[in-house]
Amino acid sequence: MLSGIYVPLITPFDESGAVAYAALEKLAASVLDQGAAGLVALGTTGEPSALSAAERRTVVEICGEAARSYGAQLIVGDLELVEGATAALVTVPAFVRPGERGVIAHFEHLAERSQVPLVIYHIPYRTGQPLTASVLRRLGEHPMIAGVKYATGSVDQDAVALLGEAPSGFSVLTGDDVYLSPMLALGASGGILASAHLHTSSFVSMAASWDRALGHRLAAISATLFAEPNPTVLKGVLHAKGLIPTPDVRLPLVPATAESVARALDWGA
């Protein structure tokens, strides 16, 4: 079972535009020191499509070494780079909209050929393909499908239905940071949360022992961090705190405005 808080690490850049690998190592150690159950390398927050193949490999190596040294788990968002990983994070194919039967066939095909278990990344507002609770239950019965990162933009009826009767051994991890508290209350086992770069120990405490007041506070902070495209505000805050050398992102993303960063800091990020 995957449980607890997993941090999908950003990819920090230095003043020359190169990946700041030393800063990445420090970020990984920081969140694991604070109790994160694991890291996600090459998730959306890490801007993987803007990285070269060599950069992606090095990012995974650094995250893998950090996870091993802490006895933590590693989820990788690239099926070609999963050696030593706990699981692979895989989205529904974007733009294709293959229908539910096509989605089931696609994931079962991947699962039967994967070196590691899969975590389905269910994010229909990006992929264009919603999945019902019944489809996720069907997929969750496959021995090589370990769970779902559930990020529908709401706590919807399918989330309630899935969490009410999830397959044995199938983990439901929230991927919408602001909905961590209600998803935990419904029975989610944790979350894959970009916001957990900050106040990691508080997110870990939430996952371990649901606290409504803490949940409201963390949700408010998370909302400010997603005021502009992820991870631009998050990088701005991490830079303001001296945790990464620059707030830079790579195109097509552009840095967050100073106003959004200041607002996040004012809210306690």
Give the catalytic positions in this structure: 121, 149
DSSP element (H, E) containing 150: strand 145-150
182-188 long-range contacts, CB within 8 A, separation 24+: 182/155, 182/215, 183/150, 183/155, 183/159, 184/210, 184/215, 185/210, 186/155, 186/159, 186/160, 187/163, 188/150, 188/163
Find all residues with CB under 8 Å of 7, minimum gap 6, and list them. Answer: 31, 36, 38, 39, 40, 192, 193, 194, 196, 197, 200
* Amino acid (one-letter) located at 243: L
Is the bond preceding 252 in cis, omega lying within 30 degrees of 0?
yes
Name the residue with tokens 């009767």. Answer: 165
SS3 of residue 155 by DSSP: coil
CB 264 within 8 A of CB 236: yes
Nearest to 12 by CA among 254, 235, 199: 235
Give, rounded to a whole angstrom, the gap between the first and last alpha carbons of the chain: 30
SS3 of residue 34 by DSSP: coil
